[in-house]
Amino acid sequence: VTITDVAAAAGVSRATVSRVVNNLQTVDPAIAEKVQRVIAELDYKPSGTARSLSLGITQTVAMIVPNLGNPVFQQVLRGVTIAAARDGFRVLVADSQEDIENEESIARDVRRYCDAVILCSPRLDGDRLVDLLHAVSPAAVINRSSQSGTVPAVTVDYAGGVRELVDHLLGLGHRRFAYLAGPPRSASNVQRIETLQRLAAERDLTVEFIPCGHTMDDGFRAWDDLQTRAATAVLTFNDIVALGLLGRLAEEGVPVPERLSVAGFDGIQASRFSSPPLTTMAFDHVAMGESAWAALREEMTGTSRHGDLIIPPVLVPRRSTGSMS
């Protein structure tokens, strides 16, 4: 049942039906009421697709994440979704499953069905990312600088965060560190590795880099490698990995923090409840999503300032870090 059916049944033109549906301009109250009645009788529901085509806008944006299983991205998604809904926008989600090709093809494909795209923590490297952003513009990037400076980005100060974490651990007397590295393509991972290398060069400390991953299982298994190292404090790519490691350490009977201090990153809710509770650098993920939406909104309306918004994470010291006994 289309607008034409309603028009016919009500004995008016389609234009009039359109007007009452969008309660536009002045329509004779009597006519309007009749149309409404017919709409109800026929159970008419305007086609959003047709409306979008006609108007040239979909009121929909897409958000692409590397992995919907990660609580951080979930919370960011929540922030985006709620903020977008406030502005009358719907959001399309896609999980690239950490696959670069997926990420790119999904973004390009989905853009044909929406008005803008938010790339969350894209794994794509420099040039390809710039190209992609250009292609799907308007766009916004989360958890990574936009590179080109031509697209708004909301990021976390990972370098500063790592420094703060290291300071915290230095204060506890640690000098030998290990870093359980995340996905090599992850920009935030690279940023932290570089920061740690710099710190190792500048200050009285050593860092061993251990390829690990981003999942709990990766953290769990990391002990196999980690136990051969001399580190007394370990930083992880994220809280998930840290929790996996803590689980393993508990199984192995390795006392934390007496024999090994563990520090995560992100501040996911579960970090509060692990045993021991996890020291981490936390930031507000939902707010991050909301900020990304705000930035994208400006981009869409052409009022963008294009500055990267950098969120400072805050140290949440808990019992997983301490002095050696």
Partner DNA sequence: CTGTTAGCGCCTTCAT
Partner DNA sequence: ATGAAGGCGCTAACAG
Question: Under the rule (CB under 8 A), what is the footprint of a second copy?
Answer: 43, 45-53, 58, 60, 68-69, 71, 74-75, 77-78, 81-82, 85, 90-95, 97, 108, 110-113, 135, 216, 243, 246-247, 269-270, 272-277, 286
- DSSP letter at 262 equals E
Residue from 271, 212, 283 nearest 240 by CA: 271
**Residue (92 or 159) nearer to a second copy, CB:** 92
Indicate the Cα dihedral angle 82, 87, 91, 97, nearest 10°.
-60
**Residue (42 or 94) nearer to DNA, CB:** 42
Distance (Å, whole) CA 74 – CA 67 = 9
25 interface partner picked from DNA, a second copy, none, CB below 5 to 8 A per type: DNA
**Residue (74 or 195) nearer to a second copy, CB:** 74
**Helix, strand, or coil (residue 236):** strand
16 interface partner picked from a second copy, DNA, none, CB below 5 to 8 A per type: DNA
130 interface partner picked from DNA, a second copy, none, CB below 5 to 8 A per type: none
CB 320 within 8 A of CB 278: yes
Residue type, 81: T
- For 33-85, give the DSSP string: HHHHHHHHHHT----HHHHHHHHT--SEEEEEES-TTSHHHHHHHHHHHHHHH
**Residue (109 or 125) nearer to a second copy, CB:** 109
Q: Does 58 bind DNA (CB under 7 A)?
A: no
Q: How is residue 244 written in tokens? A: 């996996």
Which residues in the 263-302 window bind DNA by CB under 7 A?
none
Residue from 60, 47, 56 nearest 18 by CA: 47
Least separation in angstroms between residue 97's CB and a second copy is 7
**Residue (29 or 253) nearer to DNA, CB:** 29
Residues that bind DNA (CB under 7 A): 2-4, 11-16, 18-19, 21-22, 24-28, 30-32, 44-47, 50-51, 53-56
